[in-house]
Amino acid sequence: MNLYNSSSESEDEEGRRSRNFKPRVNFAQITDSQQCLEQFRMCAEAIEYVLQVIGGDLQHNTERNRTLTPQQQLLTALNWLGNGAQYHGVADIHGLHKSTVQRCVQNVCQKIVTKLFPEEIRWRTGEALASLPQQFMAVAGFPRVSGCIDGSLILIDNPKLNEKAYVNRNGDHSINVIASSFMLPLAGRGPLMTLEL
């Protein structure tokens, strides 16, 4: 058998694998708010807001193949972020390949950082900043406090680059995630149960 030279096109057609497309999830069918919270860890209104802000940047300018809509990309990334699943698990749920899930997560996170963070996450200024110490004193009895900061080590898989930089004191691979907050008491009784004062 000659691998480099074929005598007819029919032999070439027999040697090719046919493309296999998995059926994709129809997100329009998810109308229950509880199901939306369980699957994506966000309410439908918050998802719609994020989609309005970053959806234009997620749109593919091609008619090739079977591109994902901005909504499909966002919900795939939210599913992975909210549930801590592996790429292949989310890929099976959404009818995608695991590399497609990885690209969705990467693109959505990059757009959230560049578009949403500058608008939504910032330190208070002026009158709002001046009232924070009184609010902390009234709620928790802490004098002269403007905010809180906390951190946590999140375990990750062994990175291929700079592996030693991600080893913590216990010998595990992790990243240090730090969050700061103003007056935002959290209640750990259920998912997304927060109350801003």
| pLDDT value for 103 | 92
The number of beta carbons lying within 10 Å of the beta carbon of residue 124 is 14
| pLDDT value for 184 | 52
User: pLDDT tens, position by position, for the chain (197 residues)?
Assistant: 455 555 555 555 566 777 666 666 666 666 677 877 877 888 888 888 999 999 999 988 877 777 888 988 999 999 888 877 788 888 888 888 889 899 999 999 999 999 988 887 777 778 878 888 888 888 878 788 877 777 788 888 888 888 888 898 889 888 887 776 665 544 444 444 444 43
Residue with tokens 């999830």: 25
CA distances in angstroms from 19 to 16, 22, 65, 66, 68, listed in the order given: 9, 10, 11, 12, 17
CA distance 23 to 146: 51
pTM score of the predicted model: 0.60
